[in-house]
Structure 1
């Protein structure tokens, strides 16, 4: 789920440098039609040793379930994943089992095979196994294009030590945007540390203005709505955290996609908005301060949240769909879901979600459980357009210009709306 990735608590396996579906390795699904003796290539993002170890552990569980099918994984760092996926797509060699971020699904539906109820049965999966919001992230146009392995939303993370130093009560799951702003101002004034770190990265920056406005930036019928007056007003307020109230520093360049977590982790900002996939990390013992997490502050319309996620689909060019379905079912099924929960990922299957809370450290279990319960309560599935990847690629430069005072937020949003509205 980039979400910066963070989407590292995901899938599994033997890392290889083979092509996504090379004929020599049988990556396109060579073997019997029933799957026995087949080799299925699985394409997934992974950018560091820790992620790879998690993948290997998940792979071990999946491979036990499909002993007659060999799984090979082709990986790439998040920043390169879709570039390589596009290259494989252009050559007709998309991996049989391809990882897909929900925010980018709409641009790749032609490359994936819609999953029918019969397909789900062959994979050993039922729709009822899943959190409905998680499943909807892998749907487009009324069709299901993959099975989610996790589900996520955005949290407000905070440095409890800085709150204590400033004499400000810690955030709660009933906080409003006004509570957030007041705390950010007080912390900035009393500690000399910025109260919040703004972002240039997709839902890390969109979430707080959307929560304040009470609306997503894509309508229910799939139209881009960046110039919705309520969102524009909220986004202008967000930019004002840098340019007016000065509780945030400006992001220095469009290449600084990890600016906000860097500010937070080094104690230079008291709060950030980031994905729930980082909950165990930001509240763990390895942080140099006591960290906490709560749901997004609510706007005038009340609590607001968006469900995000990623999953695995079957490539339309896959030569052995039955074997691929078996691998898909293993990777998205309860055995691997349990491994993901133990690793700090929030499973997409309802029956596996309690395992996540059981695996939390005792010192953070109560607060994180409350944050998850609150944040997912009433959250709606994220909505994107077919040009969403291009839009999110354009965000950083536009936002850096806004934070630097070179352009107004209203003008930036109007320009993006004109460029990418369908």
Structure 2
């Protein structure tokens, strides 16, 4: 850290500790306060969290007071790092599954006895859902939502090209044929490639039937089958020309603009966008299906976020009660009604019921199919760095300045250990 930045950094640290410290504690009336730390970036999301807190508060009773503390997503992990370094994490702290490997030292692993104490069973969860809070065989928290990746499509462009819209039984070959036909017959690109992590990785993974991190937890970006599948993906721009090239590494979310503006017939994005990309407000009829299957059959990864208990928590029993209330059935039922896909299967019907009438049947079928063949996302300790470095490498491929094999090789050399 440069000396000229020290003063502002110290001030930020003090402010952070003031916001996020004090994980739990008693009071003169014998009650325990459990701090729950979660990200929130707007008034609507803050209100939803307050509603969830009210449900959890009713469940834990009057002897425990839940105190909600939030920070915007962009600041959340900066503050989390400061509180982690000082041993002042909130007793119940939110964690994104894709970042868990960087924070396992801060969380208390949950045992089967802990699950029993909370009245929760592993069988309560959507297939693959618990995996987002697992690392190296240990469970570090409970997920409150679960997600995977979908293929979203513009049904109007399919009709214009005379192509049957995608189905949940689509294959990679079906996808490729449709993308070519739409491009040729409508003048609109059949697909929009991406720079973002799972938005671009999903089709190569589905085609290869494997992840870029192997079962031993080692970075495997240069696995021949994965390189072949990723090369095929890049060729959608440079060879088959069914997608435009992303113009620069700063254009994250580029494919979203392409899709919503009617400049691409298909994109890959997360299930959290299901209602947005099929909304009546769009200038076209939007649809969604599970990822196309490769030769190995349905393949995908389970994603999501959850809550864990900090190792520095002074009252683990109280924290377990709060965690169980937030991530238990009543909390999950509320999350479903609020429009998020819950991790517990018993609450998912409530989510489907919240979907728009005209899209409910289609989206329900896509969700149920989407998790078939989905497995735990595997990451390395350096995965966040890998994902951050990906856009620069991908742009060289899309713009024809380099090969996908070289791009993946550069990432493997830099971050593979």
Mapping 1:231-380, distance limit 5 Å? 231-380=226-375
User: Paired residues, what number?
Assistant: 405
Partner of residue 27, structure 1:
22
Shift of 1:67: 4.2
Partner of residue 37, structure 2:
43
| Equivalent-residue separation in structure 1 for 2:15 and 2:220 (angstroms) | 36
Which of residues 50, 54, 57 in structure 1 aligns to 2:48? 54
8 Å contact kept, 2:24–2:315: yes
| Equivalent-residue separation in structure 2 for 1:421 and 1:202 (angstroms) | 17
8 Å contact kept, 1:27–1:41: yes
Which of residues 223, 228, 232 in structure 2 aligns to 1:228? 223
Unmatched 5+ residue regions in structure 1? 1-16
| CA offsets 1:260-309 (integer angstroms, 9 cap, x no match) | 22221222211110111211221122323211111111112222122112
Shift of 1:26: 7.3
**CA 1:24–1:252 in 2, change beyond 3 Å: closer, same or farther?**
closer
**CA 1:241–1:26 in 2, change beyond 3 Å: closer, same or farther?**
closer
TM-score normalized with structure 2 length: 0.90
Shift of 1:170: 0.4
| Equivalent-residue separation in structure 2 for 1:369 and 1:106 (angstroms) | 32
| Equivalent-residue separation in structure 1 for 2:116 and 2:17 (angstroms) | 28
Which of residues 85, 88, 93 in structure 2 aligns to 1:93? 88
SS at match of 2:289: strand
**CA 1:167–1:101 in 2, change beyond 3 Å: closer, same or farther?**
same
8 Å contact kept, 1:312–1:328: yes
- Greater CA drift, 277-286 or 392-401: 277-286
Shift of 1:28: 1.2
Shift of 1:209: 0.6
2:116 corresponds to 1:121: yes
| Equivalent-residue separation in structure 1 for 2:260 and 2:75 (angstroms) | 25
| Equivalent-residue separation in structure 2 for 1:399 and 1:249 (angstroms) | 13
SS at match of 1:82: helix
| CA offsets 1:316-349 (integer angstroms, 9 cap, x no match) | 1122222222211111011111111122222111
SS at match of 1:235: helix
2:397 corresponds to 1:402: yes
Which of residues 387, 390, 395 in structure 1 aligns to 2:385? 390
| Equivalent-residue separation in structure 1 for 2:410 and 2:71 (angstroms) | 32
Shift of 1:135: 1.1
Shift of 1:204: 0.9
| CA offsets 1:86-113 (integer angstroms, 9 cap, x no match) | 2221222222211111122122111111
Shift of 1:191: 2.3
SS at match of 1:281: coil
SS at match of 1:133: coil
Shift of 1:224: 1.0
Mapping 1:129-144, distance limit 5 Å? 129-144=124-139
SS at match of 1:125: coil
Shift of 1:223: 1.1
8 Å contact kept, 1:307–1:379: yes
Instruction: Report the RMSD for the aligned CA atoms in angstroms.
Output: 2.4
SS at match of 1:65: helix
8 Å contact kept, 2:179–2:189: yes
Q: Which stretches of structure 1, 4 residues or longer, exceed 4 Å deviation after superposition?
A: 17-26
| CA offsets 1:369-397 (integer angstroms, 9 cap, x no match) | 21112111222121111211111111111
Structure whose CA Rg is larger: 2
Which of residues 141, 146, 150 in structure 2 aligns to 1:146? 141
8 Å contact kept, 2:20–2:90: no
Partner of residue 197, structure 1:
192
Partner of residue 14, structure 1:
none
SS at match of 2:228: helix
SS at match of 2:204: helix
Shift of 1:215: 0.9
- Greater CA drift, 94-103 or 290-299: 94-103
